[in-house]
Structure 1
Amino acid sequence: MINTEEEVTQCTGEIENNFSSRVEPRRVTVNQAGTRLPTGVEPEAIDVTVYYTRAEDLTPLHSPGCEATALLVQINSVNWTTVCSALTTARRLAIYHPNELKLVLDTVMPHLKLHIASLRSSVCKTALICATDFLKAFGELMFIHLQSGSPSLLAILLQKAALDKRFVMDEAKRTLSMMINAMPCKVLLNMLFLHVRDTNCKVRAIVAKYLTETVEKALCERERGIECCIDYNHEYLLQAVATFVNDRQPGARESARQLLSKLKDTYYHDTSSDEWFRFVERSLGKPTAIKILRTV
């Protein structure tokens, strides 16, 4: 642990010396939506792929305590390459020194959220990769960070997966997939239900996709004897199906069909069609039940 101001200064100085390749600082402005807008003269050509290193190719840090302390300064730099380097350091902390990172996580997360919303794609992608490693390292502890703020980190991830450049969309989807793998199904359902009626149809399609994956995960756990949150979320899932089934996006409609099929196969596989209809009718009312069962 770092206990004195002198030690903090010394550690910060040590870390700054590691950034041997410097470019001229660039001004950064923030718009009303909280998105960082890069300005100023572009630096010389930089190979940004060094910031996309696979987790298994990263190495432990020699002084994780000092690195964690200096991270708070580096991740807030106006120099985007310094930010990307700091995000890579944060990844190494998450992978090899999670206890050190946990001490500063509450301070680091708002900056990570801001960089995920960056209009500079290389910064955004690096931040998304970092978020993936954070989710893997901390799992359910990330819940509060995914939900807090407006827009929340989860809302930003859903938007990035639906509306950004292709390589950013792909990275955001990998981050969301890690979220599904790392967090409990009950928590996932509660978070995703809040976004079922998002005003953007492309975002709704992404929500439908990961809601379906969450149900698949929960049903697999049910087969292994683990308490299944789907057992007491039928009504909310059917309401989601009713929202998605006539959506403009084909992906949302397909997810609605899959969700309805999984619910029927799991809970009403050996019963008559009349019992299945009455089950849906109790949750949605007769007109909606007729409509979605006819569509699906």
Structure 2
Amino acid sequence: MAMALRPIDNALPTTPERPKKQTKVPVSIQKQPEFGVNDENQAPLPAATIDATIDYISSENLKPISDPDFKILSLNEGLDSKDWVKVCESLNNVRRFALYHSALLFPTLEKVMVVMVKAMKNPRSALCKTSIMASFDIFKAFGDSLFDSATSAAFDQLLLQLLLKASQDKRFVCEEADRTLNTMVQSLTPLPLLQKLRAYASHANPRVRAKAAVSVSACVSKMGLEGMKDYGLVSLVKMAADLLNDRLPEAREAARGIVLSVYNAYTENEEEKQEIWLNFCQSNLTPIHAQSMVKITSSQ
């Protein structure tokens, strides 16, 4: 007959299992991007239907501001708005101030240019293009004043953004940026502008490099021999020599323009133009680069 097992009093007590903690799963809350924030790791949000209502007003159709002394006081408030539509409206007011009341705008020009740079970085094309159009009017209105120490740093950032926008695939933004860069070259003294463009002619981005080369070529075409000497004739031809081997045809064509401008200025009063030019190139460039320079000028 089987005997019932008796409990052993001195046995170790069994430890009851502790309830398992539930793993907390963090819930990410997607925030709506504010004006000026462009997260490159996320696809841009679809443009709101109001994009279609933004008017791109040509400079010729902009009107003076009524009571500008009062309106200038609220300009910065509009530019700082979180509402991108209000920022567009304020940028159009910036354009009106630049064209008709530039003296009132100048004291706050640096702040305005910082906002314009921020707007160009925004994924909304309407905001970006309006800012580019504002740049166009500011170049025409203020010209060499943009080289002043108070605005020089902001101008550097603006220039970079214009080169970037001229390099992108959105055609209507790209064309507006090209037009603005051309106006910049026509409105500003070539030598100080060339000094600012120099770094971008060797930019890592080939499209930016090509757009910078086009502006450099346009600057050089406006300069006489003395202006070229002030910048450095050798520096100019070395820059052109590097660009002649660029990946993009636009950069190579701009380089040829630089070479021809320097050649025409350097040999203007010389009878033996090709011989003088050959000696200059051979003295300052590698043999292969010198040969390229002479080939360009001998075919014109």
TM-score in same-fold range (> 0.5): yes
Distance 1:150 1:94 in 2: 15
Distance 1:292 1:203, change over 3 A: same
Deviation per residue, 1:9-66 (Å, 9 max, x gap): xxxxxxxxxxxxxxxxx75162478xxx976993556422x2x111121111112122
What TM-score results when the alignment is normalised by the length of structure 1? 0.79
Q: 81, 97, 102: which one pairs with 2:101?
A: 97
8 A contact 1:60–1:96 mirrored in 2: yes
Q: 156, 167, 174: which one pairs with 2:172?
A: 167
Give the partner amino acid of 2:70.
C
Moved more, 143-152 or 103-112: 143-152
Deviation per residue, 1:87-141 (Å, 9 max, x gap): 1111111111111111221222211111122211110000000111111111111
Distance 1:78 1:145 in 2: 26
Distance 2:94 2:249 in 1: 38
| Shift in Å, 1:289 | 1.9
| Shift in Å, 1:151 | 7.4
SS in 2 for 1:91: helix
Q: 205, 228, 235: which one pairs with 1:230?
A: 228
Alignment of 1:119 onto 2:118: no
Distance 1:40 1:237, change over 3 A: closer
Instruction: Work out the number of aligned pairs and report it.
Output: 260
8 A contact 1:146–1:154 mirrored in 2: no
- 1:234-253 correspondence runs (5 A): 234-253=233-252
Moved more, 285-294 or 273-282: 285-294
Distance 1:282 1:71 in 2: 56
Distance 1:64 1:28, change over 3 A: same
Give the partner amino acid of 1:290.
Q
Alignment partner, residue 289 of structure 1: 290
Rg comparison, structure with higher value: 2
Alignment of 1:28 onto 2:29: no
Distance 1:44 1:106 in 2: 29
SS in 2 for 1:28: coil
Show structure 1 runs of 5+ residues with no match.
Answer: 1-25, 223-227
Distance 1:146 1:212 in 2: 25
8 A contact 2:69–2:104 mirrored in 1: yes
Give the partner amino acid of 2:34.
V
Distance 1:160 1:45, change over 3 A: closer
8 A contact 2:38–2:123 mirrored in 1: no
Root-mean-square deviation (Å): 2.7
Identity percentage of aligned residues: 30
Distance 1:167 1:45 in 2: 14
| Shift in Å, 1:254 | 1.4
Alignment of 1:131 onto 2:130: no
| Shift in Å, 1:247 | 0.7
Q: Which runs of 4+ in 1 moved over 6 A?
A: none
Distance 1:150 1:99 in 2: 18
What TM-score results when the alignment is normalised by the length of structure 2? 0.78
- 1:125-204 correspondence runs (5 A): 125-143=129-147, 147-148=152-153, 152-204=157-209
